[in-house]
Amino acid sequence: MTLKLAERMSRLGTEGAFEVLAQARRLEAQGREIVHLEIGEPDFATPDNIVEAAIGAMHAGATHYTPASGIMEVREAVARFVAGRLGCQVDAADVVLVPGSKNVLLFTLLSCVEAGDEVILPDPGYPVYASLVNFVGATPVGIRLREDRDFRMDLDELESLVTPRTRLLIVNTPQNPTGGVLTREDVEFIARLAAERDLLVISDEIYSQLCYGFDHVSLLSLPGMRERTVLMDGLSKAYAMTGWRLGYAVAPPALAASMDKLMINSSSCAAAFTQLAAVEAFESPESERAVGRMVAQFQRRRDLVVDGLNRIPGFRCQRPQGAFYAFPNVQGTGLPEKELAERLLDEAGVAVLPGTAFGAAGQGYIRIAYTQSEDQLRQGLERIGAFVESAVKKP
């Protein structure tokens, strides 16, 4: 039999980070030593107290199905945490726990977006946004993030992209891949626009605890936004818990109910002991201190990477205020970003991503994840510098 995949599969993209990671692993299997600056995965271990909480939960019998939207006690802890941090009213009934925040995006698109609708999303941006928008038959419309505006969008341009077919706007702050953040002025403008044009907004705030000298502003906290905002967040990044697979939505009630149905029809529930460990993550002062230590280290790494990149001829790098990515402009090297990324991996043993893995507006940039130790980052910078010097001298 020749297996024929459904047409919709041709519309689904992938994540460049996972592809480059697989390529880097193949080179490592051949004995090459690679510096990994490609994947958005903290190198820190999950804090011990959170691991202990999960082990304790397993011993106490939390190894079975839970309600599809999650254990009520955990949903209440999420509601308290979000309300406390973002300064808004959150009802536990509107919290849905999912195995990874990506599901918040998928479930919102499946629930609220029809084929032919338009969805405005950041360009460059997290590639799964456009991939899933295409998958559900809608049209992604990129709003360009501009280097000369610290990778914020031009608000007039955003307004000009809204048409009668626009159903949803996806925002992400702090942002992957640029590390840019939305200011209070940006967030207030977006809230006004969403209300005027009756748009639903997904606010992807998965990096909101990773801000450097900047106070995160959430769309959810603005008056009137609860009814039209889906908060997309999770434990992967701030708590170094990528492999635990726990994300959550705070959604308008009808959408939360729809997500519950989609959970019943897909994963059934997020892992019970992972859910219970989240209460420890959110409520223990020990976890708060651990996050504080990780954020301080990320900030040091950011400075090391940005300063190092700006010393490489042909590179120009903004100092991002959040997340753990640097997005240098590499046009000055004369090498297209894709060729530069490929040659850095093959010839210098440094895995990075071309900016175009995040959309057309990533042309001329590469993304560097500063999720590795300072030693590894120094080594990566040295290798990039040496490669660029030799490649630019003798192309």
State the residues that interact with ligand PLP by CB under 6 A: 40, 100-102, 126, 172, 176, 204, 206, 234, 236, 242, 247
Q: How far is the CB of 180 from ligand PLP (least distance, A)?
A: 12
Read off the tokens for 386: 């040496």
Evaluated on CA atoms 302, 305, 310, 315, the torsion sign reads negative
Closest by CA to 202, choosing from 324, 83, 106, 91, is 106
Read off the tokens for 181: 């953040």
Contacts of residue 23, Cβ cutoff 8 Å, sequence gap at least 6: 345, 351
- On the 0-12 / 13-18 / 19+ scale of CB atoms within 10 A, 355 is buried
Residue closer to ligand PLP (CB basis): 242 or 297? 242
Q: How far is the CB of 349 from ligand PLP (least distance, A)?
A: 23
Scan for tokens 């942002």, then name that residue: 175
Contact 94, 252 (CB under 8 A): yes
Q: How far apart are CA 270 and CA 266, in angstroms?
A: 10
Q: How far is the CB of 173 from ligand PLP (least distance, A)?
A: 10
Residue closer to ligand PLP (CB basis): 209 or 236? 236
Q: How far apart are CA 246 and CA 50, in angstroms?
A: 13
Read off the tokens for 202: 């997904």
Residue closer to ligand PLP (CB basis): 40 or 328? 40
Q: How far apart are CA 213 and CA 232, in angstroms?
A: 23
Read off the tokens for 335: 């090498």
Q: How far is the CB of 181 from ligand PLP (least distance, A)?
A: 13
Scan for tokens 């990780």, then name that residue: 294
Residue closer to ligand PLP (CB basis): 176 or 329? 176
Residue closer to ligand PLP (CB basis): 90 or 170? 170
Q: How far apart are CA 247 and CA 235, in angstroms?
A: 6
Q: How far is the CB of 131 from ligand PLP (least distance, A)?
A: 12
Residue closer to ligand PLP (CB basis): 100 or 364? 100
Q: How far is the CB of 42 from ligand PLP (least distance, A)?
A: 11
Contacts of residue 394, Cβ cutoff 8 Å, sequence gap at least 6: none
Residue closer to ligand PLP (CB basis): 122 or 328? 122
Q: How many CB atoms lie within 10 A of CB 344?
A: 24
Q: How far is the CB of 228 from ligand PLP (least distance, A)?
A: 20
DSSP 153: E
Q: How far apart are CA 208 and CA 65, in angstroms?
A: 30
Q: How far is the CB of 235 from ligand PLP (least distance, A)?
A: 7
Q: How far is CA 262 from CA 69, 109, 111, in A?
A: 10, 11, 9
Q: How far is the CB of 160 from ligand PLP (least distance, A)?
A: 25
Amino acid identity at 38: E
Residue closer to ligand PLP (CB basis): 99 or 364? 99
Q: How far is the CB of 58 from ligand PLP (least distance, A)?
A: 21
Residue closer to ligand PLP (CB basis): 101 or 229? 101
Residue closer to ligand PLP (CB basis): 18 or 268? 18
Contacts of residue 289, Cβ cutoff 8 Å, sequence gap at least 6: none
